[in-house]
Structure 1
Amino acid sequence: MGDANRENRRLWDAWSDDHQALWNAATAEGGLPPVYSPLPDPESMADWQADRLPAREDTAFVELGCGGGQGTVGAARDGVERAVGVDFSIEQLRHAVRLRNLYGVDARFVTGDVTDVPLADDAFDVAYSGFVYFMVEDIAAALGEAHRLLRDGGVLTFDVPHPFHELFDPETLALERSYHATGPRRDKHDEVLHEDIVVFDRTVGDLHAALVDAGFTVKEVYEVPQSDDPDDYDEDPGGSSSPELRAKVPRTLGFWAVAD
């Protein structure tokens, strides 16, 4: 693990309680904290997804950089055969285990870095990573590990902050950096969290090329949200975006890719 990953792991351990409190802030008294399923609704799958993805009850699912476990627990709740979450933060995994127990689902959580995952080859049908790879220095190693974990024809889906969105100040909408200025930088990421994480800016083309180099065929690139009306968006409690900015540029860039 490189110095940047070590620093980010230290920060996530320190931030974990505050971050999960922010995530769970809207939970009704006595209610379950929110989770989500990274898998598409069977009724709205694209044709290629329906061809590639097994039925949920036959799907082995892994979340790479699972944080507090919301995606892993959501997939388990929705009936996948096996759900595993991997994260380098012990404190985040503590929250993930608590969330699993609250929902009463069968999910496993493993301590590990996404560039060196302690799981077997060819073990999963779907790998998912949400807003993680932009904090990873060695993207080739991370995507190589995702490919190793997937069975032939398995699907990787991941998203990151859209590199174009990250160029702008969310309040003034002023362009602050060059799209071509890739590489590491320190980013506040969230106004609630008082230290800066290390992030690695990559262009859309960089990410596409890295997937191809890792042995994937890219099936879909998506950019969300897509409304130009600021009234369609809520305020970002972390302060890293704004309704006005999201109405100008997409907040999220995502990929669906198949392991060749």
Structure 2
Amino acid sequence: MSTVLSFDDTLGESASLVVRTYLSTAYLTSAAFLAQHAYAIEVGEAVQAGRVGLVERDAHHAYASGAIIMSALGVEAFVNELFADCAIKGKDNHFGLNSSSAEKLRRVWAEKDFQKGPSLLKYVRALDALELPRLNYKAKPVKAMKTLVELRNALAHYKMAIHAVESNSGKRAPTRLEKELQRYFPHHDRMEHNPMTGLNNAYIPDRAIGHAVAEWSAQTAVGFLEHFRELLSVTWLPHLRWPNALMLKTR
């Protein structure tokens, strides 16, 4: 969590201290931290020797699933902070936007029900308001981010895993989300890639939840925000709220 203190002098003699708290960077840093711990368990002596008990499984699942969820939350919080910061501080925002751009985002942020909308659509609206190239849903960073959001939703709104088995081959038919994940990890659910699971376990949440996906989630979130920053033509500077290298330290 990051807190910024500033004075609001627009009220004349009754100037007040404004406290702004940012969580997006904390979420992304937490995602990398959790991925590190999932990795430490997978390469640990007990797991490598085949001695995996309930203690290791519970901790591993907590770290790996936590990294996935925190990665998605970081991207969702980031766009809200972008709009809110521009609305509150204008040209003094912590995202590198000039006064004209900040004012355009302030107007969008003030629209009725906008703040309740889907996060990816908020990124679309930001670019539209600034008359910049639209978010290309076929671009690799955007496609990966959509898959990450779907995976987070599958975990957050979990429904009991029910195996649908194809009558002819006996092989379970993969869901659309599983097919999307398999594009990034064609072999990651095998024992040698995720030693914490079994081949007959449900793909989601069990076989897909490991360090590989946790690391990918953190990298996907940061990559998406970097893609968005480039679309905005904003220069990365240390004091701004954009992601940094610490959020990619996942092992």
More strand by share: 1
TM-score (norm 1): 0.24
Q: Rg larger in 1 or in 2?
A: 2
More helix by share: 2
TM-score (norm 2): 0.25
Structure with the bigger RCO (C-alpha within 8 Å, sep 6+) is 2
